Copies of this chain bind each other. A is one copy, B any other.
Amino acid sequence: MVTNCRNCWLRNRPVFLPMSEAELDFMKDFKTGELKVDPGTTLMLEGSNSPQLYTVLDGMGLRYKTLEDGERQVVSFVMPGDFIGLQAGVMDEMQHSVESTTSMMLCVFDRRSLWRLFQDHPERAYDLTWIAALEEHFLGEQLAVVGQMPAEQRLATGLLRLYDRSVALGMSKGPWMKLPYTQKDLADALGLSVVHTNKTLKALRDRGIVNWKNGDMEIRDYEGLADLAHRDPDADVKRRPLI
């Protein structure tokens, strides 16, 4: 059964273009169904090997690693169009956990059909590799953020990135975006303590740059934020196509 599958990577790359007849046929072959999950559901568990792979159709979540001492590193935020479970599919087990923070709608694939995809659909296999390379790119960026930037710049960079993605995905038109995370989630992503994250956030709020209330974030001064992030004004144009 193929239902509406917007924002699915199998549909196209990048995730926006319309689906062709051939692609629809293809979907019939691979998609095994859709899955709706509640907030707080663990979709993938570090060290496990899920038989199912997902594409996010709707909702948000996060990927994280847990360290021996209980600390948590949020590896990335999950948004519509993201592919979940590549590691489980191609290596033998997941290296991080994935959890929903809102309710999510997922497009479900069978892990075992992945090899068939490589054999019969080289373009899609290529897309998959493209996705993996993209993921690698963003992890590298995040590593640079956490490794080299002071708190304020980290926060600005992180919020900006979330907002840009949100806009790119058509989830926000104006200055508002859904941000269903806790400050602890943000802190764990940026490598900061909750307290310091909160204080840094307050500083941004006091300066009228952002406004975060009840899971909704308002970017009141995009330029100012980009400035705090030390972002090269040209670079974001260059980077725009990479969501």
Contacts and interface: CB of A to CB of B under 8 A. Distances in A.
A75 interface: yes
B91 A133 contact: yes
Interface string A93-132: 0011000000000000000000100110011011011101
Given A132-B132, A146-B146, A232-B68, A126 B137 contact: no
Contacts of A68: 230-232, 235
A143 interface: yes
A67 B148 contact: yes
Given A90-B130, A133-B87, A134-B91, A73 B191 contact: no
Interface string A64-100: 0101110111010000000000110011000110000
Size category of the A interface is 35 or more
Contacts of A67: 144, 148-149, 230
A189 B147 CA distance: 8
Contact of A144 (B73, B115, B118): B73
Contacts of A129: 86, 90, 118, 125, 128-129, 132
B140 A96 contact: yes
A70 B147 CA distance: 13
A65 B118 contact: no
Given A132-B133, A230-B69, A143 B146 contact: yes
Given A146-B147, A231-B68, A232-B68, A136 B132 contact: yes
A198 interface: no
A12 interface: no
A30 to B, nearest CB: 15
A137 B191 contact: no
In the A-B complex, the 7 residue pairs with the smallest Cβ-Cβ separation, listed nearest first, are A147-B191, A132-B132, A73-B144, A139-B139, A118-B122, A71-B148, A95-B137
Given A67-B148, A91-B134, A146-B191, 8 more contacts: A73-B143, A86-B129, A87-B137, A90-B130, A95-B136, A115-B126, A118-B129, A122-B122
